[in-house]
Amino acid sequence: MATKKSAQKTASPARRKLTAKNPAGKKSPGPTLQPLPVLRIGLGFDIHPLIAGRKMMIGGVEIPFDKGPKGHSDGDPLLHAITDALLGAAGMGDMGAHFPDTDPRWAGASSEIFLIETMKGLSANHYEVVNLDCNLILERPKLAPHIEAVRRHIARILALSPERVSVKAKRHEGLDSLGRNEAVAAQAVVLLVRR
Ligand SMILES: [Zn+2]
């Protein structure tokens, strides 16, 4: 008993925590200390007013409709939310800092460029996308017929297999500006791993 106590006293705190007894009462060596992979989570959100005379760009795909998102670029809320989620996960700031809407270079630009440039930054910092999940909040038109094309298009831009990308469409049930079809919004959550 005395020997056991003194052995516990000399063990480091980490060693004490990791040393467990197996059901037979014998000391097991405990789990091996393996370095954890560096995983980073990021969250993005975006909303744009819907106005006549603009293309309805969602995830880089044009959806036939009589209105589209107002914005400095093409106003694609899904690609903007994804870009912000990626930048946030890598601790690289936000879209406004990298692609300000006062910069004439981005006037009318396809939002795919923001995603492509962001992915270059992630690669330079050895980050890889594990998976991506998104919500697109839009009252009309119905996104269901286009959702698979949107998902595959985003996967292509990110050079990912489509099963790593999820896009879900939600209605806002008639509530607020989204429900009155005056706006379109998107949310994105992304997981990165550092290689
Ligand atoms: Zn935006």
Distance between Cα 162 and ligand 1 center (Å) = 23
Distance between Cα 95 and ligand 1 center (Å) = 9
Pairing of strands 127-137, 165-170: parallel
pLDDT tens digits, one per residue of 83-113? 999 999 999 999 999 999 899 999 999 999 9
- Domains of the chain and CATH, by start: 38-194 (3.30.1330.50)
Distance between Cα 184 and ligand 1 center (Å) = 10
Q: To 10 degrees, the CA torsion angle through 119, 125, 126, 132?
A: -40
Whether residue 193 has pLDDT greater than 60: yes
Distance between Cα 33 and ligand 1 center (Å) = 43
Distance between Cα 45 and ligand 1 center (Å) = 9
Q: Provide the pLDDT for residue 35.
A: 82
Q: Provide the pLDDT for residue 115.
A: 97
Q: Provide the pLDDT for residue 14.
A: 47
Burial class (CB in 10 A: 0-12, 13-18, 19+), 90: buried
Q: Provide the pLDDT for residue 36.
A: 81
* pLDDT averaged over every residue in the chain: 89
Beta partners for residue 62, in sequence order: 57
CB 157 within 8 A of CB 51: no
Distance between Cα 18 and ligand 1 center (Å) = 48
Distance between Cα 21 and ligand 1 center (Å) = 55
Whether residue 5 has pLDDT greater than 50: no
pTM for the whole structure: 0.83
